Amino acid sequence: MIEVSKVTKHFDQVQALAEVNLDIATGEFISIVGPSGCGKSTLLRIIADLVESPGAVKKPAKGAFVFQDSALLPWRTVQGNVELLMELEHVPNKRAKAAVALKQVGLTGFEHSYPHQLSGGMKMRLSLARSLVLDQEYILLDEPLSAVDELTREVLQEELHEMWTRDKFTAILVTHNIAEAVYLSNRVVIMSPRPGMITDIVDIPFEKRTPEIRADDKFNQVVNYIAGKLRTWK
């Protein structure tokens, strides 16, 4: 379980977050949406201990952060990037574990390629493989699919959902894409303009996620409901 309690944040004279409280159950997938500049990414970085803040965050010991730009090391091969965290933690059998992770994200055969030789979608698959190779208890995702085209984005959403279903990790996704949030999540958290605070949490009523669900009337009703909440601040 991840517990966020009374988290606030100021940057000089600007208040980014105001008393954010949020409980995320073990194995849950939530998404955070809100206007630009409302503190979504700041909140994610506070949970990851990348930014200091008053308040309290309780979380499991093992977790990973997936950045928007994939944050790959350009001088390391695909295999080398996946093995990086295992090297830092002195994990045995890293080559075999890397092979399994690459197979899970469809990158078998690209082990000796370098990041500049990969498409945007392949880079994001590699970033996910690197994050998941150590069997993380939670994954924090900061708009990881924003730099790819729409078709690739939908395919990656489906692959991310399959990974989450298979590996049972807790996930928190920051995104501007409401349909993406609804497709992937158990709940969608809506934040207000700065100073960011949680104004609503929407339960997503779908048990199974398939590509066809995006055309479902109920799916689009949920998307439109959340979009309407966000439009009140424009």
Which residue segments constitute the domains of the chain, with CATH numbers given? 1-61+142-234 (3.40.50.300), 72-136 (no CATH)
Question: What is the model's pLDDT at position 234?
Answer: 61
> What does pLDDT average to over the chain?
87
Structure token pair of residue 75: 């001088």
Strand segments (E) across the chain: 2-11, 14-24, 29-33, 56-58, 63-66, 138-142, 170-174, 187-191, 198-203
Kindly report the pTM of this predicted structure: 0.88
Query: Mean pLDDT across the stretch 36-59?
Result: 89
Query: Mean pLDDT across the stretch 2-26?
Result: 89
Query: Mean pLDDT across the stretch 132-136?
Result: 79
Quickly state the pLDDT bin for 85 (edges 50, 70, 90): confident
Flag whether pLDDT at 220 surpasses 80.
yes
Flag whether pLDDT at 102 surpasses 90.
no
